[in-house]
């Protein structure tokens, strides 16, 4: 397999475009020769049953499912819908927004979009191209198009589901017609999604009788698919703290064991995982509410004890405004009632509180099922994977910072990070699934230089990148830019980077440790200082990666604008265009949280 | 036969007169260490790379490199410094070291726990009071010892001057130190190292001057020794000694301790020529294959004293006279107050293990700082890691004693064993320390 992978640049003339080729390579990476033979036979058979497959790529698909996702939720909803439609004999084209050619919109008949909203009402990065096409001048009429939108969001933000709303306006403006009205879904979106999928299914049936649909007789060959609804139980092999005792943040390195036949991932992917809530906190909740841990409750179709529901299935640590509102209705407390009316104050209220704070400050009478009903289902948490499967086949490494804060006379621990770094022990199991991150990928050509910018645990995916490059024997020019607090205390994976530098895989390491000096230097400032070199690398075709918190990412973007002006002779507008052009070329990739 | 030069020889030869890649190593933010070669070269600039051995394993588990820091040893011929210099030595230790100062048996001071980024500022600041660290360590002449001799201050002054002259005469001539640490201009080329050559000495080289009847400096254990010959407080010249050294390698019986041979007497004006000649013979005849056998004592063992002496005479262009009879009757410091023949007072303070720090038990560092603030004479670091507050006028004697007692520098309750004890810094930093 490795041979085929390394020779990819020498593959003779073929009918696949770069993206298709990359995806094919990704799909077959890791197969042994028997599996490859089987796969080639499978593909040949497909071709035999689909004589027009080649043209089909250029034809307008009858039904397209488009998703734009950041955390993988939108993708998962779209996949479920695709499965459902396929089971009824439809052949929807399932495609991520960044792989979708916007001008194909005019050829579409039925378009179903699942889209999440980021930050202040922005679409996920993968949908930037689609949005700017629809907002631009080159759009053509979409009067033949029928569409439906499932918008994911978080009602505690002002711009709730804004990306979905904007997309709806844009499509309407071009004359597109609605298959169904837009559905907005909150953090606890699964029930809505289930409902919506049924509606879509019947709506599609009405508009496109099955006999007209092209049916691909694809049988899933994988016996088990592990996704958010069916997580894989990975065993914790090892955990160690990798910041010193006097470091300001507590960061742990975790190694999880997985079966490489069942779990596959690429550098850049994230791991979604479920966790168990703190038993001490559950005991306290039960004691305050006077509920029995044995009380029977139902969650969906499952019946279980209250303590199990609280431990494994419900969200206790990320307090959502809607939970506060629901709790408020159980009490006579005027302060809480007033708070529920004011979303701004409510957001502030939940920002440093967990359920336990709410329940202990505002006691209320509630029965077991009532409590379960007002709580959200536990949302899985995502962590960038810090290892390469090509290098270490059966492990997944994670870099986890313990979220802890003191507020309202109580020490708070993050749900997942508390469980992962304080509670679970070696040989315990964690429910996990891979969340693909196709917009954060190694360059396809091994010669392409990489500039990897990360702050704090944002450095994790670069460890996967370089492990992969090393195990492939690839030797590009690579530059790591890392920021944290103290050189001696929290230089995450320092010895790995030094070894990569020694072996020639890392050419340059730039660092910003904000608490080591008076100036409080952050990565964006370091980037600007080294702007001439950075611009030079970009001119040589380097890919630029940014991973970390949203503020860091904004700072880096400002530095890039300034660098393009100082060293590239751009003005305000053309600097922004320059960076946008890098993004469109896939040379400016971000993973921001 | 397959004989290989010791790898250090190649590092020196390739270092462009002790520059190596120190500038790059210093600029590298990703590691607190120097490159392996630069860690060798740095010794010539006066500092050793060390790491906290207690933290090695933990940090390895944390994907962190060892906790590196540096020990810097100053060049301070005869251990003499002024109160003004002491104030700077103190401040620098607080600001850029680990907050302590260590006195050494080679009459100088060391800073420990200096982080890489602080090395350059530290060297710059001690340079502002005319102290450098050139040859603090490394294969060159090290700090020159001189009997601190509180009883006879005029003689001490004269002999101390010779210690300074020898130290300066045997300094490497490379501008590397100035270029790297003091922002001196880079030398365009054509630089030479007339005495040492580009590979310097095979091993460290120690020089001491003793003034009989005191042998505080342990003159017979140095590579090169000078014994002052005096008559009625006038310096007549020196008996020259060569080839001493007490070091041995454990379980290697080809290594041994050795006392220096007496080469003969010289008048003062030949001192520098003889010192240079001894260094040059060691440069040319010393063992550059085995560092264990590279000290001058092994060179003399191989050559024979007669041949060695003849080679030195030839190179220095002198003939040794017969050595004058000398008699040493004391070694070690005389604690407390001593009055010299000019009516000045000297206070020898016992500094346990040479360690000057502020601890809950005693505020030695602050005490010395306060004394330096009012003291008008000088300080002398003794070869027994102690400190003399020298040349105190009678009028200030009480004030200084009061400060010394107040900060625990002077106590009447120390046993003779404790007063005679000496210790190396050992764990966790010294790579030669045994735990």
B61 and A510 in contact by Cβ < 8 A? no
Which tokens in the block code for residue A561? Answer: 């604008």
Q: Residues 507..536 of A with a Cβ closer than 8 Å to B: which? A: 509-511
List CB contacts of A406: < 8 A, sequence separation 6 or more.
A412
A492 and B61 in contact by Cβ < 8 A? no
B63 and A487 in contact by Cβ < 8 A? no
Range of the structural domain that residue B385 is part of: 336-419
**Domain A232-275+380-435: top CATH class:** mainly beta
A511 and B65 in contact by Cβ < 8 A? no
A340 neighbors A328 (Cβ within 8 angstroms) = yes
Which tokens in the block code for residue A488? Answer: 């001696």
Give the per-residue SS3 of chain B. CCCCCCHHHHHHHCCCCCCCCHHHHHHCCCCCCCCHHHHHHHHHCCEEEEECHHHHHHHHHCCCCCCEEEEEECECHHHEECHHHHHHHHHHHHHHCCCCEEECCCCCEEEEEECHHHHHHHHHHHHCCCCECCCCCCCCECCCEECCCCCCHHHHHHHHHHHHHHHHHCCCCCCHHHHHHCCCCCCCCCCCCCCCCCCCCCCCECEEEEECCECCCCHHHCCEEEEEEEECCEEEEEEEEECCECCCCCCCCCCCCECCEEEEEECHHHHHHHHHHHHHHHHHHCCCCCHHHCCHHHHHHHHCHHHHHHHHHHHHCCCCECCCCCCCCECCCCCEEEECCCCCEEEEECCHHHEECECCCCEHHHHHHHHHHHCCCEEEECCCCCEEEEEECHHHHHHHHHHHHHCCCCCCCCCHHHHCCCCCCCCCCCCCCCC
Best of B34, B58, B62, B113 to disrupt the A interface by mutation (most A CBs within 10 Å)? Answer: B62
Burial (CB < 10 A; 0-12, 13-18, 19+), residue A161, is: buried
Q: Residues 428..487 of A with a Cβ closer than 8 Å to B: which? A: 487
Q: How far is the C-alpha of B384 from the C-alpha of B331, rounded, in Å?
A: 10
Q: Is residue B404 part of a domain?
A: yes
Between B32, B64, B67, which is nearest A495 by CB?
Answer: B64
Which tokens in the block code for residue A393? Answer: 């086949």
From residue B238, alpha-carbon distances to B8, B211, B244 in Å are 34, 10, 17
Q: How far is the C-alpha of B392 from the C-alpha of B390, rounded, in Å?
A: 6
Residue found under tokens 């599609």: A204
Q: How far is the C-alpha of A5 from the C-alpha of A15, rounded, in Å?
A: 18
Is a pLDDT exceeding 60 seen at residue B139?
A: yes
Burial (CB < 10 A; 0-12, 13-18, 19+), residue B297, is: buried
Q: How many residues are present in chain B?
A: 435
Q: Is residue B365 part of a domain?
A: yes
Q: How far is the C-alpha of A267 from the C-alpha of A463, rounded, in Å?
A: 9
CATH classification of the domain holding B387 = 3.90.480.10
> What is the reported pLDDT for A95?
87
Q: Do domains A51-207 and A450-592 have the same CATH topology?
A: yes
Q: How far is the C-alpha of A175 from the C-alpha of B383, rounded, in Å?
A: 95
> What is the reported pLDDT for A99?
79
> What is the reported pLDDT for B159?
94
Between B29, B63, B67, which is nearest A488 by CB?
Answer: B67
Q: Is residue B342 part of a domain?
A: yes
B209 neighbors B148 (Cβ within 8 angstroms) = no
Task: Domain A279-374: give its CATH code.
Answer: 1.20.990.10
Which tokens in the block code for residue A62? Answer: 């009858």
Residue of A nearest to B65 (CA): A495
Min Cα separation B396/chain A (Å): 43
Q: How far is the C-alpha of B406 from the C-alpha of B402, rounded, in Å?
A: 6
Q: How far is the C-alpha of B218 from the C-alpha of A231, rounded, in Å?
A: 76
Count CB neighbours of A183 within 10 A. 20
A488 and B32 in contact by Cβ < 8 A? yes
Burial (CB < 10 A; 0-12, 13-18, 19+), residue A140, is: exposed
Q: Is residue B242 part of a domain?
A: no
Between B29, B65, B67, which is nearest A495 by CB?
Answer: B65
B63 and A494 in contact by Cβ < 8 A? yes
A213 neighbors A91 (Cβ within 8 angstroms) = yes
Angle, nearest 10°, between helix axes A343-351 and A334-341? 110
Q: How far is the C-alpha of A162 from the C-alpha of A173, rounded, in Å?
A: 16
Angle, nearest 10°, between helix axes A572-584 and A550-568? 120
A349 neighbors A340 (Cβ within 8 angstroms) = no
A487 and B59 in contact by Cβ < 8 A? no
> What is the reported pLDDT for A216?
46
B65 and A501 in contact by Cβ < 8 A? no
Residue of A nearest to B30 (CA): A509
Q: How far is the C-alpha of B40 from the C-alpha of A281, rounded, in Å?
A: 57
- A251 in B contact zone (CB under 8 Å): no
B33 neighbors B52 (Cβ within 8 angstroms) = no
From 3.50.50.60, 3.40.50.360, 3.40.50.150, 3.40.50.80, which CATH number describes the A450-592 domain?
3.40.50.80
Domain ranges of chain A: 51-207, 232-275+380-435, 279-374, 450-592
B64 and A244 in contact by Cβ < 8 A? yes
Q: How far is the C-alpha of A136 from the C-alpha of B339, rounded, in Å?
A: 96
CA neighbor of A533 nearest in space, from A503, A577, A563: A563
Q: How confident is the model at residue B435 (pLDDT cuts 50, 70, 90)?
A: very low
Which tokens in the block code for residue B188? Answer: 């365009």
Q: Give pLDDT tens digits for B14-50.
A: 999 999 999 999 999 999 999 999 999 999 999 999 9
Hey, what CATH topology would domain A51-207 get?
A: Rossmann fold (3.40.50)
Q: Which stretches of chain A drop beneath a pLDDT of 70?
A: 1-22, 45-61, 209-224
Best of A254, A488, A512 to disrupt the B interface by mutation (most B CBs within 10 Å)? Answer: A488
3-state secondary structure (DSSP) of residue A183: strand
Min Cα separation B113/chain A (Å): 13
Instruction: Tell me how many domains chain B contains.
Output: 1
Min Cα separation A465/chain B (Å): 17
B89 neighbors B81 (Cβ within 8 angstroms) = yes
**b/e for A370-387, b at 16 or more Cβ within 10 A?**
bbbebbbbbbbbbbbbbb
Residue of A nearest to B69 (CA): A488
Residues of chain A with Cβ-Cβ distance to B35 below 8 Å are none
Is a pLDDT exceeding 70 seen at residue B430?
A: no
Count CB neighbours of B229 within 10 A. 21
Predicted-complex ipTM score: 0.86
Between B30, B60, B62, which is nearest A497 by CB?
Answer: B30
Q: Is residue B381 part of a domain?
A: yes
List CB contacts of A146: < 8 A, sequence separation 6 or more.
A109, A110, A111, A176, A177, A178, A179, A207
List residues of B whose CB lies inside 8 A of any A CB.
Answer: 29-32, 59-65, 67
A244 and B31 in contact by Cβ < 8 A? no
Min Cα separation A2/chain B (Å): 29
A244 and B30 in contact by Cβ < 8 A? no
> A565: part of which helix (H) or strand (E)?
helix A550-568
Burial (CB < 10 A; 0-12, 13-18, 19+), residue A218, is: exposed
Q: What is the dihedral of CA A290, A292, A298, A303, to 10 degrees?
A: 170
Q: How far is the C-alpha of A175 from the C-alpha of A193, rounded, in Å?
A: 26
Q: How far is the C-alpha of B355 from the C-alpha of B100, rounded, in Å?
A: 7
B64 and A511 in contact by Cβ < 8 A? no
Q: Is residue B292 part of a domain?
A: no
Q: How far is the C-alpha of A268 from the C-alpha of A465, rounded, in Å?
A: 7
Radius of gyration of chain B, Cα coordinates, nearest whole angstrom: 22
Best of A494, A510, A515, A530 to disrupt the B interface by mutation (most B CBs within 10 Å)? Answer: A494
B64 and A242 in contact by Cβ < 8 A? yes
B62 and A511 in contact by Cβ < 8 A? no
B63 and A495 in contact by Cβ < 8 A? yes
CA neighbor of B431 nearest in space, from B23, B88, B39, B167: B39
B64 and A510 in contact by Cβ < 8 A? no
Q: Residues 368..427 of A with a Cβ closer than 8 Å to B: which? A: none
Count CB neighbours of B399 within 10 A. 14
Min Cα separation A544/chain B (Å): 20
Q: Give pLDDT tens digits for A258-317.
A: 999 999 999 999 999 999 999 999 999 999 999 999 999 999 889 999 999 999 999 999
User: Within 13 Å and on the Cβ side, how many CA atoms surround A420?
Assistant: 32
Q: Is residue B6 part of a domain?
A: no
Q: Is residue B318 part of a domain?
A: no
A83 neighbors A171 (Cβ within 8 angstroms) = no
């Amino acid at each position: 397999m490795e041979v085929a992978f390394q020779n990819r640049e020498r593959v003779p003339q073929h009918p696949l475009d770069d993206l298709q080729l990359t995806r094919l390579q990704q799909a077959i990476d890791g197969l042994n020769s028997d599996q490859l033979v089987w796969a080639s036979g499978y593909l040949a058979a497909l071709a035999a049953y689909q004589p027009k497959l080649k043209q089909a790529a250029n034809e307008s698909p009858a039904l397209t499912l488009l998703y734009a996702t950041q955390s993988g939720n939108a993708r998962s909803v779209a996949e479920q819908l695709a499965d459902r439609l396929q089971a009824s004999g439809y052949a929807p084209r399932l495609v991520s927004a960044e792989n979708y050619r916007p001008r194909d919109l005019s050829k579409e008949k039925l378009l179903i979009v699942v889209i999440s909203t980021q930050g202040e009402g922005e679409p996920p990065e993968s949908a930037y191209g689609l949005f700017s096409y629809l907002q631009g001048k080159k759009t053509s009429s979409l009067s033949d198009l029928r569409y439906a939108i499932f918008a994911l969001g978080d009602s505690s933000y002002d711009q709730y589901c804004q990306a979905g709303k904007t997309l709806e306006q844009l499509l309407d403006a071009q004359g597109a017609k609605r298959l169904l009205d837009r559905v907005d879904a909150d953090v606890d979106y699964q029930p809505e999604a289930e409902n919506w999928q049924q509606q879509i299914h019947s709506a599609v049936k009405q508009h496109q009788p099955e006999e007209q649909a092209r049916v691909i007789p694809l049988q899933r060959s994988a016996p088990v698919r592990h996704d958010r609804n069916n997580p894989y139980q990975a065993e914790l092999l090892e955990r160690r703290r990798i910041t010193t005792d006097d470091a300001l943040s507590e960061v742990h390195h975790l190694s999880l064991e997985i079966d490489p036949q069942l779990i596959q991932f690429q550098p850049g992917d994230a791991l979604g995982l479920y966790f168990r809530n703190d038993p001490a906190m559950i005991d306290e909740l039960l004691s305050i509410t006077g509920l029995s841990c044995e009380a029977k409750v139902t969650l969906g179709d499952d019946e279980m004890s209250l303590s199990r529901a609280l431990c494994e299935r419900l969200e206790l640590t990320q307090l959502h405004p809607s939970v506060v509102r629901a709790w408020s209705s159980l009490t006579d407390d005027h302060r809480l009632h007033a708070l529920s009316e004011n979303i701004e104050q409510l957001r502030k209220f939940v920002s440093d509180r967990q359920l336990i704070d709410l329940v202990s400050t505002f006691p209320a009478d509630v029965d077991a099922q009532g409590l379960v009903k007002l709580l959200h289902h536990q949302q899985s948490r995502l962590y960038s994977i810090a290892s390469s499967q090509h290098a270490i086949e059966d492990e997944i490494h994670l870099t986890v910072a313990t979220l802890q804060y003191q507020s309202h006379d109580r020490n708070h621990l993050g749900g997942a990070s508390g469980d992962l770094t304080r509670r679970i022990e070696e040989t315990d199991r964690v429910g996990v699934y891979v969340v693909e991150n196709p917009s954060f990928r190694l360059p396809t050509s091994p010669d392409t230089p990489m500039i990897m910018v990360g702050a704090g645990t944002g450095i994790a995916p670069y460890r996967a990148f370089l492990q992969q490059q090393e195990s492939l024997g690839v030797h590009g020019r690579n530059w790591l830019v890392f920021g944290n607090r103290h050189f001696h205390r929290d230089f995450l994976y320092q010895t790995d980077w030094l070894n990569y530098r020694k072996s020639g895989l890392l050419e340059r390491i730039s660092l910003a440790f904000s608490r080591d000096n008076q100036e409080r230097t952050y990565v964006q400032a370091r980037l600007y200082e080294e702007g001439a070199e950075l611009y030079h690398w970009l001119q040589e075709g380097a890919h630029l990666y940014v991973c970390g918190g949203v503020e860091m990412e904004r700072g880096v973007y400002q530095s890039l604008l300034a660098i393009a002006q100082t060293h590239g002779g751009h003005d305000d507008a053309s600097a922004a265009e320059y960076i946008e052009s890098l993004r469109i070329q896939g040379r400016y990739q971000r993973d921001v949280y | 036969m397959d004989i290989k030069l010791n790898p250090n020889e190649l590092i020196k030869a390739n270092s462009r007169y002790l520059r190596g890649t120190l500038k790059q190593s210093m600029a590298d933010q990703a590691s607190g260490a120097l490159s392996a070669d630069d860690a060798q070269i740095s010794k010539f600039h006066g500092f050793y790379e060390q790491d906290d051995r207690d933290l090695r394993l933990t940090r390895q588990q944390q994907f962190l490199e060892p906790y590196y820091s540096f020990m810097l040893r100053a060049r301070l011929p005869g251990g003499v410094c002024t109160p003004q210099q002491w104030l700077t030595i103190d401040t620098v230790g607080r600001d850029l070291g680990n907050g302590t100062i260590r006195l050494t048996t080679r009459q100088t001071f060391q800073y420990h726990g200096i982080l890489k980024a602080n090395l350059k500022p530290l060297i710059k600041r001690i340079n502002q009071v005319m102290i450098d660290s050139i040859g603090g360590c490394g294969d060159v002449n090290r700090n020159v010892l001189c009997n601190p001799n509180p009883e006879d201050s005029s003689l001490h002054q004269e002999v101390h001057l010779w210690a300074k002259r020898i130290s300066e005469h045997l300094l490497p001539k490379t501008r590397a130190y100035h270029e790297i640490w003091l922002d001196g201009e880079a030398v365009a080329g054509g630089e030479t190292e007339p005495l040492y050559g580009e590979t310097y000495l095979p091993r460290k080289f120690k020089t001491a001057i003793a003034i009989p009847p005191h042998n505080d400096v342990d003159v017979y254990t140095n590579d090169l020794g000078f014994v002052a010959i005096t008559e009625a407080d006038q310096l007549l010249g020196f008996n020259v000694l060569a080839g001493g050294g007490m070091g041995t390698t454990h379980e290697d019986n080809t290594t041994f301790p050795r006392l220096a041979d007496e080469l003969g007497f010289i008048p003062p004006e030949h001192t520098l020529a003889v010192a240079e000649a001894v260094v040059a013979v060691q440069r040319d005849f010393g063992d550059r294959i085995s560092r264990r056998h590279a000290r001058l004592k092994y060179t003399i063992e191989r050559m024979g004293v007669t041949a060695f002496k003849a080679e030195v005479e030839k190179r220095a262009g002198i003939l040794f006279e017969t050595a004058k009879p000398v008699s040493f009757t004391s070694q070690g410091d005389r604690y407390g107050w001593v009055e010299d023949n000019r009516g000045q007072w000297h206070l020898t303070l016992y500094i346990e293990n040479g360690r000057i720090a502020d601890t809950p038990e005693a505020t030695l560092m602050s005490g010395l700082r306060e004394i330096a603030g009012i003291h008008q004479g000088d300080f002398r670091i003794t070869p027994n890691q102690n400190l003399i507050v020298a040349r105190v006028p009678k009028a200030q004697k009480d004030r200084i004693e009061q400060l010394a007692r107040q900060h625990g520098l002077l106590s009447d309750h120390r046993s003779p064993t404790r007063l005679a004890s000496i210790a190396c810094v050992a764990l966790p930093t010294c790579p030669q320390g045994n735990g």
